[in-house]
Amino acid sequence: MITRRIGAAAFTLVLAAGLAACGSDDGGGDDGAGGGAGGESIKVGIKFDQPGLGLKEGNTYTGFDVDVANYVAKELGKTDVQFVQAPSKQREDLIATGQVDLIFATYSITDERKQKVSFAGPYFIAGQDLLVATDSTIKGPKDLDGKKLCSVTGSTSADNVKKEVPGVNLQEFDTYSKCAEAVSKGQLDALTTDDTILAGYAAQDQYKGTLKVVGAPFSEERYGVGLKKGDTALCEDVNKALTKMVEDGAWDKAVEANFGPAGFKVDAKTNPPKLDACS
């Protein structure tokens, strides 16, 4: 059972561990695994506007994806992690063009995406849900007919809801933070994406008491680590690092530090997930 008592202190520890990683090279060393990821530095795609997952504030990066990325980078022997913003619809291109080596950005593993990129993981399983005004009567996708819904271009969230609720008036933005703002202003009725992301917005000071997560997930989102298609060696190295992160307790700590403050309950039946084989 995952407890959620450890707040800021654990967060600081996780951060400190991430920083300490910058000065050491006790990971796998640079064994050339993954053509795109050679050398001491690694370019990692994350979200910049998803509190609890990937958030950039000044030169500080925080969130569960950031912690997992820093852990994996250290295990790969990388001493310099360069974070690059990876909006949902650009993720496949960022990998294919070598602008990033790895992506940790609430990136669901799907067959369609596997045509263009490969995935290590999954390292977390989330579910699609809805963020609405606290006084909203929307309780699930069945209440969305004719409603103004927001999601993000190139996401599974937008694709799923288009199939599930053809009668919805879906507006697709490029980031979820813009959607949250529009819902909070009453311009749109709901935002749909992963429950992890929604919990982060609902807990933000500016939205506390205004927005709530419905809490009835209707999909399974298996977060993978995106990498160049066919780089099985890199995929296996990442999976090794993910296994170690779970075994040594760092994964649990990252869950508690990043999801705990938002009160997000991690489903311990599905998390941490079993890894897929690299192909």
Residues that bind ligand GLU (CB under 6 A): 88, 105-108, 152, 155-157, 193-194, 221
Q: Cβ of residue 158: shortest distance to ligand GLU, in angstroms?
A: 8
Q: Which is nearer to ligand GLU, 157 or 258 (CB)?
A: 157
What is the spatial distance between Cα 234 and Cα 238, in angstroms, rounded to a whole number?
6
DSSP state of 79: S
Give me the residue whose beta carbon is nearest to ligand GLU.
Answer: 155
Q: Cβ of residue 118: shortest distance to ligand GLU, in angstroms?
A: 15
Contact between 134 and 190 (Cβ < 8 Å): no
Q: Cβ of residue 152: shortest distance to ligand GLU, in angstroms?
A: 5
Q: Cβ of residue 164: shortest distance to ligand GLU, in angstroms?
A: 15
Q: Cβ of residue 38: shortest distance to ligand GLU, in angstroms?
A: 27
Q: Which is nearer to ligand GLU, 107 or 259 (CB)?
A: 107
Q: Which is nearer to ligand GLU, 27 or 224 (CB)?
A: 224
Lateral strand order in the sheet of 128-133 = 169-173, 148-152, 190-194, 128-133, 211-213
Q: Which is nearer to ligand GLU, 53 or 241 (CB)?
A: 53
User: What are the E-state strand segments in the chain?
Assistant: 41-46, 49-50, 54-57, 60-62, 80-85, 102-103, 117-126, 128-133, 148-152, 169-173, 190-194, 211-213, 221-228
- C-alpha angle 273/199/226, rounded to 5°? 45
Q: Which is nearer to ligand GLU, 27 or 141 (CB)?
A: 141
Comparing C-alpha atoms, which of 112, 102, 124, 94 is closest to residue 267? 124
Q: Cβ of residue 14: shortest distance to ligand GLU, in angstroms?
A: 22
Q: Which is nearer to ligand GLU, 106 or 118 (CB)?
A: 106
The token duo for 46 is 């994350």
Q: Which is nearer to ligand GLU, 136 or 175 (CB)?
A: 175
Q: Are strands 41-46 and 102-103 parallel, antiparallel or unpaired?
A: parallel
Q: Cβ of residue 128: shortest distance to ligand GLU, in angstroms?
A: 7
- C-alpha angle 229/247/275, rounded to 5°? 30
